[in-house]
C-alpha cells in the first residue's frame, strides 16, 4: 500500500512562528521544510521541541546556510545573537545555528551541510 505525503506544503500544519526576540533560543527536531516558496525564495522550517511545542522558523541567510541542507529528523539548536553588520555595513539578524551530528543519517555528507 502506498502512503502519499504532499511535498508542496499544502498539507503542512500552520504553526506559530518562532519569535526569537521573546525566546532567543529554540532546540528541536526538523519536522518539515518549505524551500524557496515565494518569489523572494523564502524558506520555512518546522521544528518540534522536546516539550512538544511546534514552531515555524523563517529562514535567513545564516539559518538557510545550515538548515536547507539538513534532512527532516535532524536535531537543531538556533540562538538569536542580536543584530550585526556585514562587511558593507548592512544590519542583519545574526543567529548561531547548530545541529546534532548524531541525528543526521550516516548517508548524509555533513561536510556539505553549510554549503549553498
pLDDT digits (tens, 9 = 90+) for 58-83: 999 999 999 998 999 999 999 999 99
Residue 115 lies in a domain: no
Residue 84 lies in a domain: yes
35 has a pLDDT exceeding 60:
yes
- 68 domain-assigned: yes
Residues sharing a CB contact under 8 Å with residue 30, sequence separation 6 or more, in sequence order: 45, 46, 47, 67, 70, 71, 72, 73, 74, 76
pLDDT band at 4 (very low <50, low <70, confident <90, very high): low
Instruction: State the total domains in the chain.
Output: 1
User: Does residue 63 belong to any structural domain of this protein?
Assistant: yes
Binned at pLDDT 50, 70 and 90, residue 1 comes out as: low
pLDDT band at 37 (very low <50, low <70, confident <90, very high): confident
Provide the CATH number for the domain around residue 35: 2.40.50
Kindly state the cell numbers that stand for 57. 522558523
**In sequence order, which residues have a C-beta less than 8 Å from that of residue 71 and are 6 or more positions away?**
30, 104, 105, 108
pTM (2 d.p.): 0.81
Q: What is the pLDDT of residue 105?
A: 77
Mean predicted lDDT score pLDDT of the chain: 86
Closest CA to 76 of 19, 27, 23: 27
Asked if residue 54 has pLDDT above 70, the reply is yes
- The whole domain housing 60 covers 25-101
Amino acid at each position: 500500500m502506498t502512503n502519499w505525503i504532499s511535498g508542496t506544503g499544502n498539507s503542512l500544519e500552520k504553526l506559530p512562528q518562532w519569535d526569537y526576540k521573546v525566546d532567543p533560543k529554540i532546540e528541536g527536531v526538523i519536522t518539515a521544510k518549505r524551500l524557496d516558496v515565494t518569489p523572494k525564495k523564502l524558506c520555512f522550517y518546522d521544528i518540534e521541541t522536546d516539550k512538544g511545542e511546534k514552531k515555524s522558523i523563517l529562514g535567513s541567510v545564516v539559518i538557510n546556510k545550515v538548515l536547507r541542507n539538513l534532512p527532516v529528523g535532524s536535531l537543531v539548536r538556533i540562538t538569536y545573537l542580536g543584530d550585526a553588520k556585514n562587511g558593507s555595513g548592512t544590519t542583519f539578524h545574526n543567529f548561531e545555528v547548530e545541529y546534532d551530528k548524531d541525528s543526521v543519517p550516516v548517508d548524509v555528507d555533513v561536510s556539505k551541510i553549510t554549503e549553498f
